[in-house]
Amino acid sequence: MIATVIARKDVVYINISPSPGTVKLNKAFGFRLFSGGQVAFLPAFNSVPPSDRVLEVHAELADMAELTDNERYILQEHAALGCLSLICICDGVALPVVLKPRRILRGLIPCCQVVYCRSHVDLVRCAGALGRFLLRRGKLLCLVDAMGPVPGLSGRYFPKKGIKYFKGPKQPSPGDLTFTEMVLFGS
C-alpha cells in the first residue's frame, strides 16, 4: 500500500520521525537521509551587528514585501499554527525564520526548533539577533537539523538525534520542517 502512495516521481516525501524498525523499509523504498542529527545551539552567543534586528511577522509588516510569495505564505501560516514567524534584518537583507517552541529533556528546558530558514548560512548570519530576540522571551537554546556541526553556530552536534529521510527530486534543506507533523500536531 505504501508503494502506491509514494509512487509519484515529482513529489518530495519526507519522514521526520522514523522509528528504528522502519529505517530499513525507508531505504528499501528509496528514501535517503537528509538530516543525520541535530545541532543544539545558543544563538545569543553569536555576535550581533548593531543594525541587525528581528521582527515578528504580522499581515501589515512592510518588510514582508522583501520576501517571496512562498515565504510570506510559510510565515503567515506557521504563525497561525503557533510558531514564531520572524524576519531577521541582517545588513539590510530580510531573512525568514520560523521557530517552533518546544521543551526538551523531559519537558524541563524550553527551546525552539528551527522549522524554516533558507540555509544554515542564513541561520548563522542572523543567529546573534535571533538569540537576543529569544532571550527576551525566556529561550536560550535552539535546535536545527544538520548532517554535522554547523560552522558559526555556538553549540554541539548530536549525531543520530532526530534523523530524517526524504524521497523525491529535491532534497529538503536542513531546517525545513514546514507543514510537517511537528508543526501540525505538535509532536
Tens place of pLDDT for every residue, the chain, 187 residues? Answer: 466 656 677 777 788 887 777 788 878 888 888 888 999 999 999 888 888 999 999 878 888 888 999 999 999 999 999 999 999 999 889 999 999 999 888 878 899 999 999 999 999 999 999 999 999 999 999 999 999 999 999 999 999 998 888 888 888 887 788 888 888 887 5
Report the distance separating Cα 144 and Cα 156, nearest Å: 11
- As given in the structure block, the three cell numbers for residue 40 are 543544539
pTM: 0.89
Pairing of strands 141-146, 109-117: parallel
First to last CA, the chain: 25
